[in-house]
Amino acid sequence: MDFDISTDKSKLDVPKIHQEIKNSYWGGYRTEEMTTTTIENSMCFGMYSRTGEQLGFARVLTDKVVFAYLMDVIIFEPHQGKGLGKILVKHIINHSEIKEVHTIALKTKDAHGLYKPFGFNRVGDSDMWMALDKAKYE
């Protein structure tokens, strides 16, 4: 499948993003206004087919040096199970504004296997927190 990944927020299908997040285990409480606010205040990544259909979404909060928080990684139905999530995560962690960040953190209940190959590890004894820690301490 051919696709593009863009940080252009004007291309995002916000109602579709909201519906997908609303149906997730982590975003059931969110209103469309809340979803819109999270998009306005985050670095967003949309994944699109060659025809322009949005296939997936993720967002990052970051200071672009020390810390980034990866959130709302979602591939829309019926595109799940085709490896698009892996491609999206790889694109994000290699993005010019993210790749040098010392620590990238995320929370997941059930997708540890998606993130582990990229170097994310569980944080402490948490069942949900994971981090990719590239910080060098002397």
Domain that holds residue 35: 3-133
Residue 91 within any structural domain of the chain: yes
pTM confidence score: 0.94
Residue 34 within any structural domain of the chain: yes
Residue 44 within any structural domain of the chain: yes
The string of pLDDT tens digits covering residues 47-71 is: 999 999 999 999 999 999 999 999 9
Please state the rounded mean pLDDT for residues 6-16.
Answer: 97
Q: What is the CATH number of the domain that holds 115?
A: 3.40.630.30
Q: Could you give the percent of the chain with pLDDT greater than 90? A: 93
Q: Is 94 exposed, middle or buried (0-12, 13-18, 19+ CB in 10 A)?
A: exposed
Residue 94 within any structural domain of the chain: yes
How many C-beta atoms surround the C-beta of residue 114 within 10 A? 17
Residue 104 within any structural domain of the chain: yes
pLDDT confidence of residue 128: 96
Q: Which amino acid is at 6?
A: S
19 membership: H or E segment, kind and range = helix 14-22
Domain count, the chain: 1
pLDDT confidence of residue 26: 92
Judged against a pLDDT cut of 70, whether residue 123 lies above it is answered with yes
Cα(7)–Cα(24) distance, integer angstroms:
22
Residue 49 within any structural domain of the chain: yes
Residue 138 within any structural domain of the chain: no
Residue 7 within any structural domain of the chain: yes
Please state the rounded mean pLDDT for residues 29-35.
Answer: 96
